[in-house]
Amino acid sequence: MHKDLEKILFSEEEIKAAAKRLGDRINADYAGQEVIFVGLLKGSVQFMADLLKNIDLMCTIDFMCVSSYGNGTKSTGRVNIIKDLSEPIDDKNVVIVEDIIDSGNTLSFIKRYFSAKNAKSVRICTLLNKPSRREVEIDVDYIGFDVPDEFVVGYGLDYQEYYRNLPYIGVLKPEIYE
Ligand code: IMP
Ligand code: MG
């Protein structure tokens, strides 16, 4: 597994520090209010766990699973709901927790979907952001790190479902997917 990576971008310590930094900001922004954190499966699981440990608010959690990718490394632009929310979100402050924002198609779909469900507010917290690949404009409120246009795996992020268990984020060798 480790040998399939070209280089390491972020260590577990750096990622945990980012989760603390973002958690502190969310605590300040929502002081005295309730929040529901919605993790997008499956990529957000490791980061969501770290983030939640830094949240000092009355909150609940939920998960959604959508797919836009198929099995390749490029977004198809179509978003399918595989698992929907299990709680209503009307009049709730929602913070979406995501592993990476690439084209922006997934998050712009989900933001619209949550607004249509009458959420009180919807913000996005993502571990990674690839701004160079954006196809749709989207406001991202909390960002761990910007990354260059390379295919990254680890800490929840996968290639064909593998590498999610790596305790760091790295760049996959192109020969693995070419
Ligand atoms: P978007 O809809 O193009 O913004 O795609 C977002 C989803 O694509 C993320 O939730 C990831 O699952 C996946 N994705 C985008 N870039 C990468 C990457 O570099 N590595 C692994 N997954 C990625
Ligand atoms: Mg994925």
Residue spans per domain, the chain: 5-177
> pLDDT tens-digit profile of 69-79?
555 666 666 78
**DSSP run (H or E) holding 23:** helix 12-29
The answer to whether 37 and 52 are in contact (CB under 8 A) is yes
pLDDT at 85 over 90: yes
For residues 29 and 49, give the distance between their C-alpha atoms in angstroms, rounded to a whole number: 20
Task: Check residue 152 and give its pLDDT.
Answer: 97
Top mutation candidate among 76, 102, 107 for ligand 1, by most atoms within 8 Å of CB: 102
Query: What is the mean predicted confidence (pLDDT) over 38-64?
Result: 98
Task: Check residue 73 and give its pLDDT.
Answer: 64
Ligand 1, pocket residues at CB < 6 Å: 43, 68-69, 75, 98-106, 151-153, 157
Q: Which residue has the tokens 């980061």?
A: 47
Mean pLDDT, the chain, rounded, equals 95
Q: For residue 71, which ligand has an atom nearest its CA?
A: 2
Task: Check residue 112 and give its pLDDT.
Answer: 94
Strand pairing class (35-41; 93-101)? parallel
CATH classification for the domain delimited by 5-177, as one of 3.40.50.2020, 2.60.120.260, 3.40.50.300, 3.40.50.10490: 3.40.50.2020
The answer to whether 111 and 138 are in contact (CB under 8 A) is yes
Task: Check residue 159 and give its pLDDT.
Answer: 96
Query: What is the mean predicted confidence (pLDDT) over 148-156?
Result: 96
Question: Which residue's CA lies nearest to atom 11 of ligand 1?
Answer: 100
Residues annotated as part of the active site? 102
Task: Check residue 68 and give its pLDDT.
Answer: 75
